[in-house]
Every structure is written in C-alpha cells, then in structure tokens.
A and B are shown apart, each in its own frame.
Chain A
Amino acid sequence: MSHANPAKKIINNPLKCADELFEGLVIAYDGKARRVGTRSIVMNALRPDAPALLVGGGAGHEPIYHGLVGKGMADGAAVGEIFAAPPPDIVLEATQAVNRGKGVLFLYGNYAGDVMNFDIGAELAAEEGITVKTVIIADDVCSAPPSEKHKRRGVAGLVPITKIAGGASMSVDSLDELARIAQKACDNTRTVGVSTKPGSIPATGKPTFELADDIIGLGMGIHGEKGVALIPMCTADELAVKILDLLFADDLTLNAGDEIVFFVNSLGSTHMMELLILLRAAKPILEKRGIKIHQTIVDNIVTCQEMAGVSFSITKLDAELKKFWDLPCESVGYTKL
C-alpha cells in the first residue's frame, strides 16, 4: 500500500490518524474528559442521576463530534476511523460510560454507516439493560427535498443542535424529555453548504471529489456529495444571497420577529476572513426579513480535512430552545460564555 502524501499532511502514519488524533484530543481536554475503552471520550464530571447525551461519528471532521464533549455539551462521544462510523462495541463502551441509570440519547448525523452501527450499539446496550433513544440529525437542505427529510444528511447544524441538547441535558430529568428537546432543535435547524475545493483522504492522499477551479458546488455535502448546482465562482455578497435563498426556500418558516442562531462554518481551509465577509453580507439580508440574530457562531467546527467551502446554518429559537441555548457550555470545539 502506498503512503503517498501529496496533500502534505503533517502526520506520522496515514493508517493511524484516527488513533493518534484521539490521543491528542484527550490531552487537549486538560483533564475534563478521559479516554474510555478503544476510542471513546467521556466527560469526567457528569451530573448524577441524569439522562446522558452521546454523540459520535467518523474521525477526520475535527473538531466534531468528539470535540463537542464537555459541560453543557455532550457527555461523551464514540469515535470511528477516518470517515467511518464507530463500530458497535465502541458505541457500547461509550454508552456504558455515560449512563447514569436514566438512559442515553444517541445524537448523530444521518449517514448509513452511523445509523447501522449506532443501531447495533443500541441493541447491545439494551441487552445490558440500558435504555437508549435516538435522534438523527438531518439538516442538509440540499441533500433531499422536504418530502424526503429522512434522506437528508447531517451537517453543520449539529453544532447548535448538540449545544441545545447539551443545555437540556444539564436540566431535564428524563430521557424522553431530552429526546423531545433534541428533536425539536433538529426540526428547527437547516443548513446549506457550498464547496470550492475538495479535501483529501489521509490514507490515500486522493481528493474526496473533483471540482473545476472556477466552479462552486452549491449544496454540496461535506464528503463531496452532489449538491443542487454547479455555479461559476462569484463574490461573497453574491454567494451569501444564493445560500440564504436556498435556506428561505425550504420548509422552516421564518417570520419577522423570529430569533435565530446563525452559524457560519468553514469546511476546513476557508479562512476566517472569508467567513466574516460572508457574515457581513448575510446579516442585512436576514434583518430585511425582520429575522433577529440572537447569536452568531463564526468558526471551523464541521470540517472535512482541507476542504474549502462554507455553510450557513439557521436554528430557529422558541422560548424553550432559547433557554437551553443561553446556558453556557465548554468543549474543545465550541465554548459559549
């Protein structure tokens, strides 16, 4: 097997990236979280007698998901290989570690491998007497029409969703209640992403997809899944309009007076400079509709290696979601004071 490294990744062994980044992540948590079993990470100070929030997915998209463990965020994460869902026994070890007798909510993105492995993990947990509920994140507007929401992929909306569910997990006492709130956060969240350049697969050095130099993939998924259109390269002001038009055209009603969390995410190598220029363009468009930005996030949190591109996520807040959003949280990937 060749270990070509055309992307010049600063690594040791392309086949050991998942394990080695995981070991680094545990160190980055500065004692607030610990390694459990093969490749799970769990918070040290868990609220007693509370339902647990477990997230997870493949590695290579850091800081998600395993970087979202912490106070007011997820209690733990099950971590897979690069771009591969965590196997059921890793899901089980994480589930056992976060469970405090009140059951565990699985919260993850809608990808076939994740659904199968978390489902098997839930069956194994049931055999151990642990109650599991599942809420699947499917916020990517361009991956399927509103009538086929179950086919939509989970992308950057997972950040506000995990934050709100994490806030709820600090306060609620039942798993059903935690699942209800997480589901509501999902129902109120939409994302549209665009891509300008692919990332590469660490083990092969190959790009995850191909895209011409002067073309933007509108609605493209974080692994290069086909979007809604290939459009010529354009300015930030023009692109902000196109992304927001797709968000407004979806089935999440946004009326004057509605409050939202607005998340401008870089898919990897797109610079903060560009994110800020896009935010500057987006805000007046939202304001013109009377939509109030309750809080902005501008960061690289949901990434695919050195992929270039950006996504806008909108989470509409009602009084209940706002209450959980407003609680502070702390994690490697996202911290809110």
Chain B
Amino acid sequence: MPKATLSKDEVKAMLILACERIIAAEPMLSEADRNLGDGDHGMGMERGMRASIEKLNAAEVESIEKAFATVGMAMMSSMGGASGAIFGTFFRNGGKALNGKEVFDAAGLAVFLKAGVDGVKQRGGAAIGDKTCVDAMEPAANKAAEVAGDSLPEAIKAVAAATEAGKEASKAMVAKFGRAKTLGEGCIGFPDAGACSVVVIIDAFRDFIVA
C-alpha cells in the first residue's frame, strides 16, 4: 500500500533504505566519479551512509527533524571533504526546516528539499548548470513545490522523475567546481557523480513511499 503520510519511524526506515541503496550503488558512483574526478565519491558516500545507519539505529528517533539531521551529522562527520559538507548540509538544513512536523507528507517533502538545496547552494556557491549535485537537487525541489498539494506517493513519483531528468541534463554541462573543472569540455557526456547520488537517494524515498 502506498503511504499517504510517514511517521517519524517510517521516515527513519525510509532513510535507512536510502543508505542501503547508496552502499549498494558504491561501484556505480565510484565509476561515475572516475570519469570526472578522482574516483572516490562512492567510497565516501558509502562511509557516510554506514555511519548514518549506525547513528539511526543507535537510539529511538525523537522526531522527523532529528531523523534527517542524524543522517546529515553522520555524513558530515564521517566523510569530510566537499561531499561530506554538501550532503551533510542537505540533510541537516532540510531536516531543520521540518522542525515541529509530526507527519511527513508532500508539503513536508517540498519544505525538506527546498531548505536542503538552499543550504547546499549557500554553502558551496554552486548554481544550476554548474554540473554538481545541485543539478539534481534543485529540479527535485522545484517539482516538489509544484506538487506539494498532491498525495505523497504521487508527489514523490513526480519528484523522482524530475531528479533523474536533472541528473541526465548534467551530462551536457561543463563543470565549474571540483576536479572535473580541470577537464573543461572533456567532462561532457558524463553525469555528475553527486547528482547520481541524489537520484539514488530520491529513488529510495519513492520506492519506500510507493511500495
């Protein structure tokens, strides 16, 4: 049965699924990064997600806000580097915006994604078109705002499609950040590895909600 809303424990379960999916996708993410960077994105993300699962399982989850923030803190602390700061900020800022929410619905999804991507943009200075994770996060947030009045299952399906389209669009972009920047036009044709991670996470959210 698709879930109309999620409780804090369901949010925790959804996040654990997202962590497991990232861990399973490590070879794909590392390969994506090898095309553009130094090939360690998947390993960093795996480290962050293993730490997140450990923290999520270590204690009773207090709130929806805390569930997301726990993942953010665990990623930031265990990963370091640009990816740790960026994905940590995404989950921490997104979570913080859900302060006081008792259930997670389509409106909450929109709030989470908007605050998450705003935090990432502010922290890293990247904008849409720079071939970074923002190219998947921002279309996701924009679509979520559009469908915030829909049911959660319908909304997450639309958001997942927009995220995937954003990642695909990153293939044609020339990187403005990170090591890929040094490749110039040589990076055309490959999607940004961070954007690939965002797709894995949002697809996991979708599969958990729709299943």
Measured CB to CB, the residues of A under 8 A from B are 1, 15, 58, 80-81, 83-90, 111-113, 116-117, 119-120, 201, 203-204, 206, 208, 221, 223-226
Contact = CB atoms under 8 A, between A and B. Distances in A.
12 contacts: A1-B27, A15-B43, A83-B38, A85-B82, A87-B80, A112-B177, A117-B80, A119-B123, A204-B39, A204-B40, A223-B179, A224-B179
Given A85-B80, A87-B88, 10 more contacts: A81-B44, A81-B80, A84-B82, A112-B82, A113-B83, A116-B82, A117-B84, A204-B40, A225-B181, A225-B182
Contacts, number: 93
A175 B193 CA distance: 40
Nearest to A78: B80
Interface string B51-83: 000000000000000000000000011111111
Contact of A87 (B34, B78, B123): B78
B38 A87 contact: no
Contacts of B182: 221, 224-226
B81 A89 contact: no
A85 B124 CA distance: 14
Given A112-B124, A116-B85, A226-B182, A80 B80 contact: yes
Contacts of A58: 80-81
Given A86-B80, A87-B77, A206 B179 contact: no
Contacts of B40: 83-84, 201, 203-204
B44 A206 contact: no
Contacts of B83: 84, 113
B105 interface: no
B16 to A, nearest CB: 22
Contacts of B80: 58, 80-81, 84-87, 90, 113, 117
A84 B84 contact: yes
B178 interface: yes
Contacts of B79: 81, 84, 87
B2 interface: no
Contacts of A84: 40, 44, 79-84
B184 A226 contact: yes
A85 B81 contact: yes
Given A201-B38, A204-B40, A224-B182, A116 B77 contact: no
A204 B42 CA distance: 12
B135 interface: no
B184 to A, nearest CB: 7
B203 interface: no
B43 A120 contact: no
Contacts of A208: 38
**Interface pairs A-B: 10 shortest CB-CB:** A84-B81, A113-B82, A116-B85, A87-B80, A226-B182, A113-B81, A80-B80, A225-B182, A84-B80, A89-B77
B26 interface: yes
A126 B85 CA distance: 18
Contacts of B78: 87
A225 B184 CA distance: 11
A291 B80 CA distance: 42
B137 interface: no
Interface string B79-99: 111111110110000000000
Interface-centre pick from A1, A84, A88, A89 (highest chain B CB count, 10 A): A84
Interface string B11-53: 0000000000000001100000010001110011000000000
Given A80-B80, A201-B38, A208-B38, A1 B43 contact: yes
Interface-centre pick from A80, A88, A90 (highest chain B CB count, 10 A): A88
Interface-centre pick from B27, B38, B81, B182 (highest chain A CB count, 10 A): B81
A151 to B, nearest CB: 10
Nearest to B38: A201
A265 B208 CA distance: 54
A116 B179 contact: no
Nearest to A15: B43
Given A84-B44, A88-B76, A119-B123, A112 B39 contact: no
B184 A1 contact: no
Given A203-B43, A206-B34, A1 B26 contact: yes
B69 to A, nearest CB: 14
Nearest to B39: A204
Interface in B102-124: 123-124
A140 to B, nearest CB: 13
A308 to B, nearest CB: 18
A221 B182 CA distance: 10
Given A1-B26, A84-B80, A223-B179, A116 B34 contact: no
Contacts of B44: 81, 84
A203 B76 CA distance: 20
Contact of B85 (A90, A120, A203): A120
B124 A116 contact: yes
A264 to B, nearest CB: 25
Contacts of A111: 82
A81 B81 contact: yes
